[in-house]
């Protein structure tokens, strides 16, 4: 193939001197494309266009061309409510993805989905062994087994969202870089998966409460709004930690410690009255504002005959509702803000 | 001016009235790789205490200022050696990777059709098909009807019922075929194909080439990344050669592919 410099058109001239060009912004080839745009815009010459381009004017000829033909910038963040609508349109994907995760989480185990029931039972068995039999921590709580199990199950619900939510985007970078969908679908799917896990563990829990000697009462109905509020809280929490996990990958190393500390602060394995007994008033007020403490207290109020209470049910409902709203709003706004950047990894 | 008209349209002539679908304006894409704070805990601690962040965060400048305009009806091939930034450029066009500077404008939401669209490997092929379709924004009612069609197209069931087995049990060719089949199930206005045609056996390649032709008929614009130069020559009139994140050549496929061949196999040509 003849490669005489004068015979070759400008756009096909190979620049053999520049394996790593010093002036990367002016390759021959895109000058050609640019000059095409320049003609459309009636610019006098491609050189002039290029100079304008280099001056980085706010509306370069190409951007003008794009906007004139109604092209939209790619990968720009949609408006907040537009984003929410987008997420809603992907509800089918969220449902399919979360039930897929549910299947996948035990897919390598021989017993498969039976683990969904076995996991909470084993969990309770260990706590019963240590706190019920060995340490005998009744601590003035009637039906300590029921008390303990409600705490463990309700806490696990949020804890799994915390753990899996932090990895929900970073762990699916391949998916994020391959397909365009609202990224909030990933942490939301994590929360939905845990709701499905919760339904199973609530069945186990009901059995334990009855077996441990508490009657089935009308109050059990209150478990439904409690779990709804907690689920909303979890969605917000999942969105929050998902973005934090992207921004600071080290957080994933900290999650186990955070969740353990949170468990000790939530009165899962001891009576919630200790805060008022051992802490100064202000500190105990703060400790009692802990959302998980509130959801656990509400669940105990619903299921158990006479659990120790930190405050009136009305106060707990207000606090629980407030936490759900705060978490949901803060989480979704925070996550939405980072939407264009999740592919960067 | 004669020179200008000559160079103005890389693909044929009389294209001034055509409608641009993708405008890429001086786009730079940088990957940030967190390479750990240091090789040992001591050096990591020292770095953390000094507050120097630079050694832990390495920047990989993958696309270094690419400018191009694609028009309706264009089929554009992208060639270049490994790591030249082809896939990264496609991701930036698709809006999946935010550019460091510069901007990308598109007429419609582009769809990236790749073999890397990893879904959930623990799940059966069938479930992955459903998930993939939903992720592409296909309505649920439509998905149900398409599943069998997609599985048939991918040919994973040619050797027994593989569609109900987890995707991790598939051979790499089978998985790639299924992913391609999922992505190709939808009609896209702007289609970005990333080395998807090079997968699978001859029969599948023929099928997928046919499907790409169909998609092209409905799609406004197609970008095709491939190391298989013959498939680019078959389906693209215009080809862009990327090298180290820069456009090295942009023009009619025959000429660009010829030059690229010469570059990659200098001994074959004298």
**pLDDT reported for residue A122:** 87
Q: Are B233 and B254 in contact (CB under 8 A)?
A: yes
Q: Determine the pLDDT at residue B21.
A: 87
Choose among A35, A66, A103: nearest Cβ to B7: A35
- Cα–Cα distance for residue pair B124/B138, rounded to 1 Å: 19
Contact B76, B241 (CB under 8 A): no
Task: Give the pLDDT of residue A319.
Answer: 93
d(CA A22, nearest CA chain B) in Å: 12
B73 touching chain A per CB within 8 A: no
User: How many Cβ contacts (< 8 angstroms) between chains A and B?
Assistant: 209
A10 contact B CB<8A: yes
pLDDT confidence of residue B179: 82
Q: Does B131 touch chain A (CB under 8 A)?
A: yes
Residue of A nearest to B1 (CA): A45
B202 touches chain A (CB under 8 A): no
Contact across the interface for B7 and A40, Cβ inside 8 Å: no
Pairwise CA distance, residues B232 & A161, whole Å? 46
- Which pLDDT band, with edges at 50, 70 and 90, does A44 fall under? very low
Does residue A34 or residue A253 have the better pLDDT? Answer: A253
SS3 A240: helix
CA B138 to chain centre: 21
Q: At residue B192, does pLDDT exceed 50?
A: yes
pLDDT digits (tens, 9 = 90+) for B77-129: 999 888 888 888 988 888 888 888 888 888 888 877 765 555 777 888 888 88
d(CA A129, CA A127): 5
Global ipTM:
0.76
pLDDT in tens, A142-194: 788 888 889 989 999 999 999 999 999 988 887 887 788 899 999 999 999 99
- Taking an 8 Å cut-off on Cβ atoms, the answer to whether B250 and A32 are in contact is yes
Which of A1, A10, A66 best tests the B interface by mutation, with the highest count of B CBs <10 A?
A66
**Phi, psi for B195 (deg, rounded to 5):** 50, 25
Could you tell me which chain A residue has the CA closest to the CA of B114? A178
Q: Which residue has the higher pLDDT, B183 or A32?
A: B183
- Greatest alpha-carbon pair distance for chain A in Å reads 97
Mean pLDDT of chain B: 79
Please determine, for residue A323, whether its predicted confidence score (pLDDT) is greater than 70. Answer: yes
Q: Do A344 and B97 touch (CB under 8 A)?
A: yes
Rounded to whole angstroms, how far apart are CA atoms A50 and B188?
A: 33
Q: Is the pLDDT of residue A48 over 90?
A: no
* Residue A253 CA, distance from chain mean position: 16
pLDDT at A137 over 70: no
Percent of chain A with pLDDT over 90: 34
Q: Please name the member of A20, A40, A341 whose beta carbon is closest to the beta carbon of B244.
A: A20
* Cβ–Cβ below 8 Å for A73 and B19: no
**CB of A183 within 8 A of CB of A176?**
yes
Residue in A25, A46, A92 nearest the CB of B65: A25
Task: Choose, out of B32, B33, B98, B102, the residue to mutate when testing the contact with A (most A CBs < 10 Å).
Answer: B98
The reply to whether residue A100 touches residue B127, judged by beta carbons under 8 angstroms, is yes
B40 vs A189, residue with greater confidence: A189
Interface touch B98/A40, C-beta < 8 Å: no
Residue A226 corresponds to which tokens in the numbers above? 């409690």
Is the predicted pLDDT of residue A301 greater than 80, yes or no? Answer: yes
Tell me what pLDDT residue B39 has.
Answer: 64
CB contact (8 A) between residue B127 and residue A46: no
Mean pLDDT, rounded, for A5-16 = 39
The DSSP bridge pattern shows strands B75-79 and B221-225 to be parallel
Decide if B248 touches A, using CB distance below 8 A: yes
- Contact B270/A at CB under 8 A: no
What is the Cβ-side half-sphere exposure of residue B106, based on CA atoms within 13 angstroms?
A: 23
Q: Count other C-beta atoms under 10 Å from residue B269's C-beta.
A: 10
Nearest to B250 among A11, A73, A174 (CB): A11
The minimal CB distance from B64 to the residues A24, A46, A178 is found for A24
DSSP A113: G
CA dihedral B174→B177→B183→B185, nearest 10 degrees, is -110
Shortest distance, CA B150 to any CA of chain A (angstroms): 18
On chain A, the residues whose CB falls within 8 A of the CB of B137 are 89-90, 181
């Amino acid at each position: 193939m003849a490669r005489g410099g004068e015979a070759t058109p400008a756009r096909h001239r190979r620049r053999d001197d520049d394996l790593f060009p010093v002036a990367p912004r002016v390759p021959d080839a895109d000058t050609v494309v640019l000059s095409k745009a320049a003609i459309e815009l009636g610019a006098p010459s491609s050189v002039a266009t290029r100079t304008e381009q280099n001056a980085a004017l706010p509306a370069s000829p190409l951007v003008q061309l794009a906007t004139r033909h109604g092209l939209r910038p790619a990968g720009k963040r949609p408006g907040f409510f537009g984003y929410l609508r987008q997420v809603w349109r992907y509800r089918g994907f969220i449902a399919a993805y979360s039930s897929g995760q549910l299947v996948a989480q035990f897919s390598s185990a021989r017993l498969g989905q039976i683990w969904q029931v076995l996991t909470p039972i084993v969990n309770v068995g260990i706590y019963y062994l240590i706190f019920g039999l060995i340490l005998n921590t009744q601590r003035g709580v009637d039906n300590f087994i029921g008390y303990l199990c409600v705490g463990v199950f309700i806490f696990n619900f949020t804890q799994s969202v915390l753990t899996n939510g932090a990895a929900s985007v970073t762990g699916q970078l391949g998916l994020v870089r391959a397909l365009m969908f609202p990224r909030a679908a990933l942490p939301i799917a994590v929360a939905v998966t845990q709701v499905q896990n919760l339904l199973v563990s609530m069945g186990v829990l009901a059995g334990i409460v009855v077996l441990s000697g508490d009657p089935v009462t009308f109050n059990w109905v209150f478990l439904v709004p409690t779990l709804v509020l907690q689920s909303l809280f979890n969605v917000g929490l999942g969105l929050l930690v998902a973005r934090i996990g992207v921004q600071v990958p080290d957080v994933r190393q900290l999650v186990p410690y955070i969740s353990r500390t949170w468990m000790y602060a939530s009165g899962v394995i001891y009576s919630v009255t200790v805060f008022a007994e051992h802490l100064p008033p202000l500190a105990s007020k703060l400790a009692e504002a802990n959302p998980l403490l509130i959801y656990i207290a509400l669940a105990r109020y619903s299921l158990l005959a006479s659990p120790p209470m930190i405050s009136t049910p009305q106060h707990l409902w207000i606090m629980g509702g407030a936490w759900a709203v705060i978490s949901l709003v803060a989480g979704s706004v925070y996550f939405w803000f980072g939407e264009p950047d999740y592919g960067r990894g | 001016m004669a020179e200008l008209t000559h160079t103005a349209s890389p693909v044929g002539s009389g294209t001034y009235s055509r409608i641009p679908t993708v405008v890429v304006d001086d786009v730079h894409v940088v990957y940030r790789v967190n390479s750990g704070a240091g090789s040992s805990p001591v050096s990591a601690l020292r770095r953390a205490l000094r507050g120097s962040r630079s050694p832990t965060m390495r920047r990989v400048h993958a696309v270094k200022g690419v400018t191009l305009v694609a028009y309706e009806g264009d089929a554009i091939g992208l060639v270049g050696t490994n790591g030249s930034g082809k896939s990264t450029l496609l991701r930036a066009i698709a809006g999946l990777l935010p550019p460091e500077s510069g901007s990308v404008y598109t007429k419609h939401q582009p769809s990236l059709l790749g073999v890397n669209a990893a879904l959930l490997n623990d799940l059966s092929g069938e479930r992955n098909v459903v998930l993939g379709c939903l992720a592409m924004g296909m309505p649920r009612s439509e998905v149900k009807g398409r599943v069998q069609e997609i599985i048939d197209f991918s040919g994973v069931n040619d050797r027994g019922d593989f569609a109900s087995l987890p995707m991790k049990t598939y051979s790499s060719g089978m998985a790639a075929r299924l992913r391609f089949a999922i992505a190709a199930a939808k009609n896209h206005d702007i289609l970005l194909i990333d080395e998807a045609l090079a997968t699978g056996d001859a029969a599948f390649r023929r099928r997928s080439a046919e499907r790409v032709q169909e998609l092209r008929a409905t799609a406004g614009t197609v970008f095709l990344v491939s190391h298989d130069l013959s498939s680019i020559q078959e389906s693209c009139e215009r080809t862009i050669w990327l090298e180290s994140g820069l456009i090295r050549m942009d023009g009619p496929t025959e000429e660009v592919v010829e030059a690229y061949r010469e570059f990659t196999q200098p001994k074959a040509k004298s």
